[in-house]
Amino acid sequence: MIVDEAYELANGVRIPVLGLGTWFIEGAAAAQAVRDAVETGYRNIDTAQAYGNERGVGEGARTSGLARHELFVSTKLAAEIKEYDAAVAAIDGSLDALGLDHIDLMMIHSPQPWADFRGGDYAEGNREAWRALESAYEQGKLRAIGVSNFRQGDLENLFAVCDVVPQVNQVLVHAGNTPSELLAFCAARDIVVEAYSPIGHGAILTNAEIAAIAGRYEVSVPQLCIRYTLQLGTVSLPKTADRAHMRSNAQVDFVISEPDMRTLEALRIRDYGEHSVFPVYSMK
Protein backbone atom coordinates (compact mmCIF):
# COMPACT_ATOMS: atom_id res chain seq x y z
CA MET A 1 0.00 0.00 0.00
CA ILE A 2 1.06 3.58 -0.62
CA VAL A 3 1.29 4.34 3.11
CA ASP A 4 4.11 1.81 3.32
CA GLU A 5 6.22 3.46 0.61
CA ALA A 6 8.98 5.99 1.28
CA TYR A 7 11.61 8.08 -0.46
CA GLU A 8 15.17 8.35 0.78
CA LEU A 9 16.43 11.86 1.46
CA ALA A 10 19.98 12.89 0.58
CA ASN A 11 21.14 12.07 4.11
CA GLY A 12 19.59 8.59 4.07
CA VAL A 13 16.54 9.44 6.19
CA ARG A 14 13.39 7.83 4.81
CA ILE A 15 10.25 9.92 4.38
CA PRO A 16 6.84 8.30 3.73
CA VAL A 17 5.48 9.31 0.33
CA LEU A 18 1.97 10.05 1.64
CA GLY A 19 1.45 12.39 4.56
CA LEU A 20 -1.29 14.17 6.45
CA GLY A 21 -1.51 17.95 6.13
CA THR A 22 -2.91 19.69 9.22
CA TRP A 23 -3.43 23.32 8.18
CA PHE A 24 -6.66 24.71 9.72
CA ILE A 25 -7.02 21.72 12.07
CA GLU A 26 -6.86 23.09 15.59
CA GLY A 27 -6.12 21.87 19.10
CA ALA A 28 -7.89 18.70 20.16
CA ALA A 29 -9.10 18.16 16.60
CA ALA A 30 -5.46 18.07 15.44
CA ALA A 31 -4.59 15.48 18.06
CA GLN A 32 -7.51 13.31 17.03
CA ALA A 33 -6.71 13.74 13.33
CA VAL A 34 -3.18 12.47 13.94
CA ARG A 35 -4.47 9.46 15.89
CA ASP A 36 -7.03 8.71 13.16
CA ALA A 37 -4.39 9.04 10.45
CA VAL A 38 -2.03 6.69 12.28
CA GLU A 39 -4.83 4.16 12.71
CA THR A 40 -5.49 4.43 8.96
CA GLY A 41 -1.83 3.68 8.23
CA TYR A 42 -0.25 7.12 7.80
CA ARG A 43 3.21 7.61 9.22
CA ASN A 44 3.96 11.14 7.92
CA ILE A 45 2.42 14.14 9.72
CA ASP A 46 3.01 17.75 8.63
CA THR A 47 2.45 20.90 10.69
CA ALA A 48 3.96 24.38 11.09
CA GLN A 49 4.44 27.07 13.70
CA ALA A 50 2.07 29.24 11.66
CA TYR A 51 -0.71 26.64 11.91
CA GLY A 52 -0.93 27.14 15.66
CA ASN A 53 -1.51 23.42 16.24
CA GLU A 54 1.91 22.01 17.10
CA ARG A 55 0.74 21.12 20.61
CA GLY A 56 -2.25 19.21 19.25
CA VAL A 57 -0.17 17.45 16.62
CA GLY A 58 2.44 16.52 19.21
CA GLU A 59 -0.22 15.18 21.54
CA GLY A 60 -1.63 13.07 18.72
CA ALA A 61 1.82 11.72 17.91
CA ARG A 62 2.60 10.89 21.53
CA THR A 63 -0.76 9.17 22.09
CA SER A 64 -0.93 7.39 18.73
CA GLY A 65 0.30 4.08 20.08
CA LEU A 66 3.37 4.14 17.83
CA ALA A 67 6.97 4.18 18.95
CA ARG A 68 8.60 7.54 18.17
CA HIS A 69 10.81 6.11 15.43
CA GLU A 70 7.75 4.84 13.54
CA LEU A 71 6.35 8.32 12.93
CA PHE A 72 7.73 11.09 10.70
CA VAL A 73 6.79 14.53 12.06
CA SER A 74 7.52 17.75 10.15
CA THR A 75 7.11 21.38 11.12
CA LYS A 76 8.11 24.76 9.72
CA LEU A 77 9.93 27.79 11.05
CA ALA A 78 7.65 30.83 10.92
CA ALA A 79 8.15 32.82 7.72
CA GLU A 80 8.77 36.05 9.66
CA ILE A 81 11.85 34.70 11.43
CA LYS A 82 14.93 35.82 9.50
CA GLU A 83 17.51 36.13 12.27
CA TYR A 84 19.76 33.45 13.75
CA ASP A 85 19.05 33.79 17.48
CA ALA A 86 15.29 34.08 16.93
CA ALA A 87 15.38 30.99 14.73
CA VAL A 88 17.31 29.00 17.34
CA ALA A 89 14.72 29.95 19.98
CA ALA A 90 11.83 29.09 17.65
CA ILE A 91 13.26 25.65 16.85
CA ASP A 92 13.43 24.89 20.56
CA GLY A 93 9.92 26.30 20.87
CA SER A 94 8.62 23.80 18.34
CA LEU A 95 10.31 20.93 20.16
CA ASP A 96 8.66 22.07 23.37
CA ALA A 97 5.23 22.58 21.77
CA LEU A 98 5.31 19.19 20.07
CA GLY A 99 6.62 17.52 23.22
CA LEU A 100 9.06 15.47 21.17
CA ASP A 101 12.77 14.84 21.68
CA HIS A 102 13.46 15.46 18.00
CA ILE A 103 11.72 16.63 14.84
CA ASP A 104 12.08 14.52 11.71
CA LEU A 105 12.00 17.47 9.30
CA MET A 106 11.98 21.22 9.88
CA MET A 107 11.69 23.76 7.09
CA ILE A 108 11.82 27.52 6.57
CA HIS A 109 8.14 28.16 5.80
CA SER A 110 8.69 30.86 3.19
CA PRO A 111 11.57 32.86 1.71
CA GLN A 112 9.66 36.04 2.63
CA PRO A 113 7.43 36.98 5.57
CA TRP A 114 3.77 36.44 4.66
CA ALA A 115 3.07 40.18 4.71
CA ASP A 116 5.66 40.63 1.94
CA PHE A 117 5.34 37.30 0.12
CA ARG A 118 7.31 37.35 -3.16
CA GLY A 119 8.30 40.88 -2.25
CA GLY A 120 11.56 42.24 -0.82
CA ASP A 121 15.05 40.83 -0.51
CA TYR A 122 15.43 38.50 2.47
CA ALA A 123 18.48 36.63 1.18
CA GLU A 124 20.61 37.29 4.25
CA GLY A 125 17.75 36.55 6.61
CA ASN A 126 17.18 33.18 4.95
CA ARG A 127 20.87 32.39 5.30
CA GLU A 128 20.66 33.20 9.02
CA ALA A 129 17.56 31.05 9.50
CA TRP A 130 19.23 28.24 7.56
CA ARG A 131 22.32 28.46 9.73
CA ALA A 132 20.09 27.92 12.77
CA LEU A 133 18.49 24.86 11.16
CA GLU A 134 21.95 23.48 10.33
CA SER A 135 23.03 23.95 13.94
CA ALA A 136 19.96 22.11 15.28
CA TYR A 137 20.52 19.39 12.67
CA GLU A 138 24.12 18.93 13.79
CA GLN A 139 22.94 18.70 17.41
CA GLY A 140 20.50 15.92 16.54
CA LYS A 141 17.38 17.96 17.27
CA LEU A 142 16.33 17.68 13.63
CA ARG A 143 16.78 14.57 11.47
CA ALA A 144 16.39 16.50 8.21
CA ILE A 145 16.12 20.14 7.18
CA GLY A 146 14.49 21.86 4.25
CA VAL A 147 12.52 24.78 2.93
CA SER A 148 9.02 25.58 1.72
CA ASN A 149 7.78 27.85 -1.07
CA PHE A 150 11.37 28.38 -2.26
CA ARG A 151 11.98 29.12 -5.93
CA GLN A 152 15.22 28.36 -7.76
CA GLY A 153 16.83 31.68 -6.86
CA ASP A 154 15.92 31.27 -3.20
CA LEU A 155 17.55 27.84 -3.17
CA GLU A 156 20.66 29.10 -4.96
CA ASN A 157 21.02 31.77 -2.27
CA LEU A 158 21.39 29.01 0.32
CA PHE A 159 23.62 26.87 -1.89
CA ALA A 160 26.19 29.68 -1.88
CA VAL A 161 26.78 29.43 1.87
CA CYS A 162 25.27 26.23 3.26
CA ASP A 163 27.07 23.27 4.77
CA VAL A 164 23.96 21.12 4.34
CA VAL A 165 21.95 21.38 1.11
CA PRO A 166 18.19 21.53 1.75
CA GLN A 167 16.89 17.98 1.70
CA VAL A 168 13.26 18.96 1.03
CA ASN A 169 11.35 21.76 -0.69
CA GLN A 170 7.62 21.83 0.10
CA VAL A 171 5.69 23.72 -2.59
CA LEU A 172 2.24 24.08 -4.12
CA VAL A 173 1.79 21.24 -6.63
CA HIS A 174 -1.45 19.90 -8.06
CA ALA A 175 -3.05 19.08 -11.39
CA GLY A 176 -3.52 22.52 -12.85
CA ASN A 177 -0.42 23.93 -11.16
CA THR A 178 2.68 21.89 -11.93
CA PRO A 179 5.99 23.78 -11.51
CA SER A 180 7.85 21.44 -13.85
CA GLU A 181 11.08 23.45 -14.05
CA LEU A 182 11.35 23.72 -10.27
CA LEU A 183 10.63 20.00 -9.88
CA ALA A 184 13.43 19.19 -12.34
CA PHE A 185 15.81 21.63 -10.63
CA CYS A 186 15.20 20.02 -7.24
CA ALA A 187 15.48 16.48 -8.61
CA ALA A 188 18.85 17.30 -10.17
CA ARG A 189 20.12 18.37 -6.75
CA ASP A 190 18.67 15.45 -4.80
CA ILE A 191 16.05 17.64 -3.09
CA VAL A 192 12.78 15.82 -2.46
CA VAL A 193 9.73 17.93 -3.26
CA GLU A 194 6.66 17.77 -1.06
CA ALA A 195 3.35 18.72 -2.70
CA TYR A 196 1.01 20.67 -0.48
CA SER A 197 -2.63 21.21 -1.51
CA PRO A 198 -2.42 18.27 -3.97
CA ILE A 199 -6.20 18.53 -4.45
CA GLY A 200 -6.04 22.29 -5.02
CA HIS A 201 -8.25 23.02 -2.00
CA GLY A 202 -11.21 21.49 -3.77
CA ALA A 203 -11.34 23.98 -6.63
CA ILE A 204 -10.63 21.27 -9.16
CA LEU A 205 -13.30 18.88 -7.89
CA THR A 206 -15.81 20.21 -10.42
CA ASN A 207 -13.43 20.25 -13.40
CA ALA A 208 -15.00 18.13 -16.13
CA GLU A 209 -11.70 17.15 -17.78
CA ILE A 210 -10.21 15.88 -14.53
CA ALA A 211 -13.45 14.12 -13.63
CA ALA A 212 -13.43 12.33 -16.99
CA ILE A 213 -9.88 11.07 -16.44
CA ALA A 214 -10.75 9.93 -12.91
CA GLY A 215 -13.76 8.08 -14.30
CA ARG A 216 -11.59 6.06 -16.66
CA TYR A 217 -9.63 4.74 -13.67
CA GLU A 218 -12.79 4.31 -11.59
CA VAL A 219 -11.39 6.53 -8.83
CA SER A 220 -12.46 9.81 -7.26
CA VAL A 221 -11.05 13.17 -8.36
CA PRO A 222 -9.09 13.54 -5.07
CA GLN A 223 -7.60 10.06 -5.55
CA LEU A 224 -6.55 10.94 -9.11
CA CYS A 225 -5.01 14.21 -7.94
CA ILE A 226 -3.06 12.58 -5.12
CA ARG A 227 -1.83 9.83 -7.44
CA TYR A 228 -0.76 12.49 -9.95
CA THR A 229 1.52 14.19 -7.43
CA LEU A 230 2.96 10.85 -6.36
CA GLN A 231 3.80 9.94 -9.95
CA LEU A 232 5.55 13.28 -10.31
CA GLY A 233 7.93 11.93 -7.66
CA THR A 234 6.74 14.18 -4.85
CA VAL A 235 5.60 13.47 -1.32
CA SER A 236 1.84 14.16 -1.30
CA LEU A 237 0.30 15.97 1.68
CA PRO A 238 -3.50 16.03 1.43
CA LYS A 239 -5.09 17.83 4.37
CA THR A 240 -8.15 16.41 6.12
CA ALA A 241 -9.54 15.76 9.57
CA ASP A 242 -12.11 13.31 8.22
CA ARG A 243 -11.27 9.64 8.82
CA ALA A 244 -13.18 8.47 5.71
CA HIS A 245 -11.28 10.95 3.56
CA MET A 246 -7.98 9.80 5.07
CA ARG A 247 -8.82 6.25 4.11
CA SER A 248 -9.92 7.21 0.60
CA ASN A 249 -6.86 9.43 0.06
CA ALA A 250 -4.63 6.44 0.81
CA GLN A 251 -6.35 4.19 -1.72
CA VAL A 252 -4.24 5.29 -4.67
CA ASP A 253 -2.48 2.10 -5.69
CA PHE A 254 -3.18 2.53 -9.40
CA VAL A 255 -1.07 3.94 -12.23
CA ILE A 256 -1.93 6.94 -14.39
CA SER A 257 -0.88 6.44 -18.01
CA GLU A 258 1.79 8.65 -19.54
CA PRO A 259 -0.69 10.36 -21.92
CA ASP A 260 -2.97 11.19 -18.99
CA MET A 261 -0.01 12.42 -16.93
CA ARG A 262 0.91 14.79 -19.78
CA THR A 263 -2.69 16.02 -19.98
CA LEU A 264 -2.79 16.70 -16.24
CA GLU A 265 0.59 18.41 -16.31
CA ALA A 266 -0.55 20.75 -19.07
CA LEU A 267 -3.68 21.87 -17.22
CA ARG A 268 -3.88 25.39 -15.78
CA ILE A 269 -6.45 25.50 -12.99
CA ARG A 270 -5.76 28.09 -10.32
CA ASP A 271 -9.12 28.91 -8.78
CA TYR A 272 -8.72 28.56 -5.01
CA GLY A 273 -12.09 30.01 -4.03
CA GLU A 274 -12.13 31.42 -0.50
CA HIS A 275 -8.48 30.38 -0.04
CA SER A 276 -7.37 32.87 -2.72
CA VAL A 277 -6.81 35.43 0.05
CA PHE A 278 -3.76 33.50 1.28
CA PRO A 279 -0.38 34.55 -0.15
CA VAL A 280 0.61 31.10 -1.44
CA TYR A 281 -2.48 31.05 -3.71
CA SER A 282 -2.13 34.61 -4.98
CA MET A 283 -0.05 33.51 -7.98
CA LYS A 284 2.57 36.20 -7.42
Amino acid found at 183: L
| Cα–Cα dist 202/197, whole Å | 9
Chain center to CA of 113:
18
Which alpha helices (DSSP H) does the chain contain, by range? Answer: 27-40, 54-62, 84-98, 123-138, 152-159, 180-188, 208-217, 221-231, 243-249, 258-266
* Contact residues for 27 (Cβ-Cβ < 8 A; gap 6+): 53, 55, 56
Active site residue 51: yes
- Backbone φ/ψ region at 149: left (φ over 0), alpha (ψ -120 to 50), beta: left
DSSP-derived pairing of the beta strands 6-8 and 44-46: unpaired
CA-derived radius of gyration, the chain: 18
In the chain, the largest separation of any two C-alpha atoms, in whole Å, equals 54
Q: Which of 21, 11, 1, 12 is nearest to 235 (CA)?
A: 21
| Cα–Cα dist 225/221, whole Å | 6
Length of the chain in residues, anyone?
284
Catalytic residue among 51, 196, 228, 272: 51
Q: Which residues are catalytic?
A: 51
